Amino acid sequence: MLSLAHVHVYHGPIHALRGVDLSVEMGEIVTLIGANGAGKSTLLMSICGAPRAGRGRVLWDGEDITDLPSFEIIRRGIAQVPEGRRIFSRMSVLENLLVGATPLEDGQREEDLQRVFALFPTLKDRQHQRGGTLSGGEQQMLAIGRALMGRPRLLLLDEPSLGLAPRLVQRIFEIIEAINREQNVTVFLVEQNAYHALRLAHRGYVMANGRIVLAGESKALLANREVRAAYLEGGV
């Protein structure tokens, strides 16, 4: 339902994406792994239109969304958890979640809130606390919960395991799986933590220097010698 065709993205003079092709089908968990600076975050951001693809097309449900402004894209059912969480630190947890409901015009807020609280009980206990005072793990949960408040069909996650203790990483990945399975949300996951990501995902892409260099079933990628050498060995 999402597909990118020959997408090029420039950050000023920097040619960050050099012709990316990929697709994500309904109900899947797809992961994108790659080294620092490969262009993973840029790819995720450009799906949401900021920065816009300089060349190439982004299609969503058959519609060309390449040139739509971000808020229009989000309103079509794509949500993004940006790199580094970006919690609204001086607003309460509850307010953070409510901002997430922006793309919805009809107000099923209460129901959505309960759904998020069921997924992340700690957020319910801390709903009146300021976002900036949450722990790193709680902030990540808040960022995911906030994105879910818009009832997305596709969830884009940028390194949700960043800076979390191994046990929490495990928790977050379980939750992502639950979101995918129980709430029918398609997931596109960018990760450094290749092992966990590939274990979770159905399919994976490997990116290097702004290009997709490998793609396939997760199992195949996990077994792939190059992938093991570059992203798995010593890093598990």
Partner 1 sequence: MSFSHRPINPADLFKDAALAALMALILALPLIGFRSVAEGGQLALTTRFDWVGIGVAGVFLGRLVLVYASSFWPPSGANFALAEAVREGMSRYVMALAGMGLLLALLLPFLPFSSRYVIDVATGLLIYIMLGWGLNIVVGLAGLLDLGYVAFYAMGAYSYALLALQFDLSFWICLPLAGLFAGLLGIVLGFPVLRLRGDYLAIVTLGFGEIIRIILLNWYEITGGPDGLSGIPRPSFFGLPFKPTTGEHEISAFHQAFGLEFSGLHRVIFLYYLILCLALITNFFTLRLRKLPLGRAWEALREDEIASRSLGINPRNTKLTAFGIGATFGGLAGAFFATRQGFISPESFTFVESATILAIVVLGGMGSQIGVVVAAALLILLPEFGRELEEFRMLVFGAAMVLIMAWRPRGLLANREPTLRLHRRDRRGGEPR
Ligand X SMILES: Nc1ncnc2c1ncn2[C@@H]1O[C@H](COP(=O)(O)OP(=O)(O)OP(=O)(O)O)[C@@H](O)[C@H]1O
Rounded to a whole number of angstroms, the minimum distance from the CB of residue 38 to Mg ion is 8
Contact by Cβ (8 Å): 111, 64? no
Quick one: DSSP state of residue 85? -
Among 6, 26, 64, 99, binds partner 1 (CB under 8 A): 99
123 neighbors 142 (Cβ within 8 angstroms): yes
Min dist. Cβ of residue 51 to partner 1 (A): 11
Nearer to ligand X, 4 or 149 (CB): 4
Segment near partner 1 (CB under 8 A); pick from 27-35, 52-60, 74-82, 205-213 = 74-82
**N- to C-terminal Cα distance for the chain?**
32
CB 110 within 8 A of CB 89: no
Binding mask 14-33 for ligand X (x = CB under 6 A): x-x-----------------
Q: Which of 49, 109, 93 is nearest to 74 (CA)?
A: 49
**CB of residue 155 vs ligand X: minimum separation in angstroms?**
17
Six token digits for residue 86: 């970006």
- CA gap 175, 157 in Å, rounded: 12
Bridge partners of 232, per DSSP, are: none
- Judged by CB under 6 A, the number of residues near ligand X is 14
Q: What does 80 interact with, of ligand X, Mg ion, partner 1, none (CB < 5 to 8 A by kind)?
A: partner 1
Residue 162 binds to partner 1 (criterion: CB under 8 A): no
Q: Which residues pair with residue 204 across a beta bridge?
A: 31, 216
- Least spacing, CB of residue 69 vs partner 1, in Å: 7
Residues that bind partner 1 (CB under 8 A): 45, 48, 50, 69-71, 74-75, 79-82, 86-92, 95, 98-103, 128-130, 132-133, 146-147, 150
